[in-house]
Amino acid sequence: TWLKNPSPPTAATPPHFSSPNTMNGHWRMSPLHCWLLALAWFGVGAPTAAACSIDPAIYVRLFENNMPMFQEIARLVQEAGAESVLDLGTGPGEPSTLIAKAMPKTKVIATDVQPAMIEKAKVRAHGLPNVEFGVASADDLSGYGSASVDAVTMCYVLMFVPDRARSLREVARVLKPRGRAYIAVWKRLGFMEVIQQALEALTGSA
């Protein structure tokens, strides 16, 4: 689940990307969670909409279900010994908080496109001096310099980014030589298809 950048990227030698992840085995969702997720996403648009459409007040009650993947990404970052980490789409603060706790000497920058998410992340990371926060879209990292971080994390975010290709180019740009990006995506989300069909039947719209 990582993109490795062995040398500064060029048009002739783009970085390699691999992301074989699936939701299977990582989420355990009750009917209530499914309904809350439907409200969070379908209340404002289809699940392919930009991440800025997700209601932070609802999502904060759901994102704990992603903890197995947050923990795995934090483990991989710790194993690599990264000294600086840029977390894209941190939501209410993960995996940035886990990484900051496990690696107190590592600088962690937690970002999200929604200011309300960042406020929740600040509460979660309260008391951790090695965490910084910023509002940024994953496809526009102009606020961060080229070759400036050892690792980029993006957990269940990329599929919501409006311009995915640009996002990956930006990730490659901010990574230092031999830096790595740890990116997890949903391979299939069947239960959301069922929810969408039910809501379409109720509302009479496709």
What's the mean pLDDT in 179-190? Answer: 83
Asked if residues 70 and 134 have their Cβ atoms less than 8 Å apart, the reply is no
CA distance 59 to 81: 30
Predicted pLDDT at 28: 39
2-5 and 149-155 strand pairing: unpaired
Predicted pLDDT at 66: 86
Closest by alpha carbon to 154, among 110, 188, 196, 203? 110
Predicted pLDDT at 108: 98
Residue 74 corresponds to which tokens in the numbers above?
């934090």
pLDDT tens per residue across span 82-138: 999 999 999 999 999 999 999 999 999 999 999 999 999 999 999 999 999 999 999
| C-alpha Rg value of the chain to the nearest Å | 17
Query: Which of 15-19, 126-130, 185-189 has the least mean pLDDT?
Result: 15-19
pLDDT tens per residue across span 26-77: 333 444 444 444 444 444 333 433 444 577 777 777 778 889 999 999 999 9
Predicted pLDDT at 152: 97
